[in-house]
Amino acid sequence: MRGTLIICPDAESVSREAAERFVSAAAEKLSDQRATFAVALSGGSTPRRLYELLAGSPYRSKIPWARVHFFWGDERLVPLDHADSNFRMAHEALLRHVPVQPVNLHPIPTNLPADQAAQAYERTLRAHFGRWGLPKFDLVLLGVGADGHTASLFPGSAALAEKDHLVMPHSRGVNQPARVTLTLPVFNNASHIHFLVTGKPKASALRAALERGTLPVQRVQPKKGELLFLVDAAAAGKLDGVRIEVPVTSEAEP
């Protein structure tokens, strides 16, 4: 496995490091004047601060927003203004504050049954990335759940084995909204995959993420792209003695 683990002192510096790397990945792709930059946003609470930073100085002015296309790695099937909506979180923290083109926003539809929403989003990906082959995201942002899930790929989920579909539904049982998630072949075809992991409660999950295994997060292994774990010291608190499959190649200073 190739990749980089960057341990930052705290969650704020993880978010700043992620913002810098978002800007660099966009600049790298958009140096070609005809290019656009396609990013798959993650949900959860961890990336909120990154989104807020991108919406403000100095990052906001460094990104040609009109050439950025926003997709989502996963979504809960709740109304777009619901507290659990990943679209809502990104919209509130980032998208409403920057000059994105509305036509470049590609939210997962949430007004359909999960299987139909997944099919519809697959058509959205095909329309943007082309009919054949795998979509190639320029950047995928991901988080890690305590059980080793990432996006809405949960341990034991049928979607983990998916090789053909780009998008799959996921049902989480009674009283839990159904979800829709991109699949591993799509994530693993990205140019950059950046995991953001912060806080002591994530220490065991991060430890697992960096070891060999079959948890969803362990199966995110880009074929050619960059795999980066941006973590804070609290999340890195249980890494002693771990045979890290992702080599630590850099450490951000406070």
Q: Is 189 in the site for ligand 6PG (CB under 6 A)?
A: no
How far from chain centre, in Å, is Cα 79? 21
Residue 110 corresponds to which tokens in the numbers above?
Answer: 């949430």
Q: Closer CB to ligand 6PG, residue 29 or residue 76?
A: 76
Binding residue for ligand 6PG, selected from 3, 107, 135, 145, defined by CB under 6 A: 145
Q: Is 107 in the site for ligand 6PG (CB under 6 A)?
A: no
Contacts of 146 (CB under 8 A, 6+ apart): 201, 202, 204, 205
Q: Which stretch binds ligand 6PG (CB under 6 A): 98-106, 116-124, 141-149, 157-165?
A: 141-149
Tell me the pairing of strands 68-72 and 179-182: unpaired
Q: How far is the CB of 31 from ligand 6PG (least distance, A)?
A: 30
Contacts of 169 (CB under 8 A, 6+ apart): 114, 115, 117, 118, 159, 178, 179, 180
- CB count within 10 Å of CB 89 equals 20
Q: How far is the CB of 133 from ligand 6PG (least distance, A)?
A: 25
Distance CA 15, CA 53 (A): 8
Q: Closer CB to ligand 6PG, residue 185 or residue 199?
A: 199
Q: Is 15 in the site for ligand 6PG (CB under 6 A)?
A: no
Q: Is 74 in the site for ligand 6PG (CB under 6 A)?
A: yes
Distance CA 220, CA 236 (A): 19
Q: Is 45 in the site for ligand 6PG (CB under 6 A)?
A: yes
CA pseudo-torsion sign 171, 104, 111, 86:
positive
Q: Which stretch binds ligand 6PG (CB under 6 A): 11-19, 127-135, 140-148, 162-170?
A: 140-148
Residue 17 corresponds to which tokens in the numbers above?
Answer: 């490091």
Q: Which stretch binds ligand 6PG (CB under 6 A): 14-22, 106-114, 144-152, 170-178?
A: 144-152
Binding residue for ligand 6PG, selected from 16, 21, 69, 149, defined by CB under 6 A: 149
Binding residue for ligand 6PG, selected from 15, 150, 188, 191, defined by CB under 6 A: 150
Q: Are 192 and 140 in contact (CB under 8 A)?
A: yes
Q: Is 143 in the site for ligand 6PG (CB under 6 A)?
A: yes
Tell me the pairing of strands 179-182 and 167-170: antiparallel
Q: Which stretch binds ligand 6PG (CB under 6 A): 32-40, 115-123, 137-145, 185-193?
A: 137-145
Tell me the pairing of strands 192-197 and 37-41: unpaired
How far from chain centre, in Å, is Cα 177? 20
Residue 147 corresponds to which tokens in the numbers above?
Answer: 């059980």
Q: Closer CB to ligand 6PG, residue 144 or residue 228?
A: 144
Q: Closer CB to ligand 6PG, residue 19 or residue 144?
A: 144
Give the number of residues in contact with ligand 6PG, rule: CB under 6 A: 14
In the complex, the residues that contact ligand 6PG under the rule CB under 6 A are: 42-46, 74, 86, 143-145, 149-152
